[in-house]
Amino acid sequence: MSSIQTVGIIGSGTMGNGIAQACATNGIQVVMVDISQAAVDKGLTTVASSLDRLIKKEKISAADKDAALALIKGSTNYDDLKGAQLVIEAATENEALKVKILQQLDSLLDANVIVATNTSSISITKLAAATQRADRFIGMHFFNPVPMMALVEIIRGLQTSDATHDAVKALAERLGKTPITVKNAPGFVVNRILVPMINEAFFVLAEGLATPEDIDAGMKLGTNQPIGPLALADMIGLDVCLAVMNVYIAEYNDSKYRPAPLLKEMVAAGWLGRKTGRGVYTY
C-alpha cells in the first residue's frame, strides 16, 4: 500500500469537517465532498472557526490556520476524489444511504484505494460486502469533537486485509490519534461498555436509590469520569441511547441489554435531553 497523502471525505457535517481539520492540521491533503455547495461551505466555515479558537488559545499560529485551510478542497463532485488513497465516508448514520454512497465510490475509485466508513453502529462486515473491495474496506470510528478526542476505533470487518488495517492505523497515528483495533460487533468497544452503563443508571434512578445529581456525582468522583452517566445521556440524546440498546438486544438476544423502562418512558414523553430542553435534567 502506498502511504496516504490525500484523504477524501464524504460529508461535511460535524464528523466530516472534524476529520478534515484533523487531516489538514497534520499536513494531509483533503477533498471534502457533500451534496450541496451550502453544506460544503458550512463545513469549511466550521473548520475555520475551530482553528480560530485554537489561535485564541495559542495552540496554533495564524500561519498554521492558513496552511491547514489551503489543504482542504471543498467539492460537490465525486470525481474530485479520484486522487485520494483513502476515502472516508462520514454521512448520516443510515445504512441504506451509506450503502448507496459506498457503491458509488466503489465504481469510481481505483481498485487499490482504501474505503473507510465512520460509523458508530452499522456492521463493517455487512457494508464491506456491498462493495467490490471488501479486503480494502474498514471502519474508522472517530469521536466527537474529532479535533479534540484522541481515540479512533479501527474496526476490521471479517474481510479486511492486514495491509488495509496497517495503512489506516498508521494514518490515525499521523493524525495524532491513539487507535485501538476492534473486531466487528455491535457497539464495537466503547459504546458496547458505555451505553449499557448509561442504561443501568436509569434502572438505578427508577428504583429511587439516589437522586440524579447524586448518581452522577457518585460516578464522577468514584470512577473519575468527567461527566456523570445521566448528564451524558442528556448530551447524547435519550432517543439515541434507547436506539443503541434496542440494537444490542436484537443482535445479541441477551436480556442484559434490555432497555430500562424509565428510559423508554422518557423517550415516549419526548424528553430527549439537551436538544429538547428536558431530559433527566431541565435545560
Which residues are marked as active site? 120, 141, 153, 191
Displacement of CA 86 from its chain's centroid (Å): 17
**Nearest-angstrom CA–CA distance, 205 and 38:** 43
Kindly write down the DSSP assignment for every residue of 61-107, as one continuous string.
-HHHHHHHHHTEEEES-GGGGGG-SEEEE---S-HHHHHHHHHHHHH
With contact defined as beta carbons under 8 Å apart, do 184 and 139 qualify?
yes
With contact defined as beta carbons under 8 Å apart, do 18 and 147 qualify?
yes
Q: Regarding beta strands 86-89 and 114-117, do their DSSP bridges make them parallel or antiparallel, or are they unpaired?
A: parallel
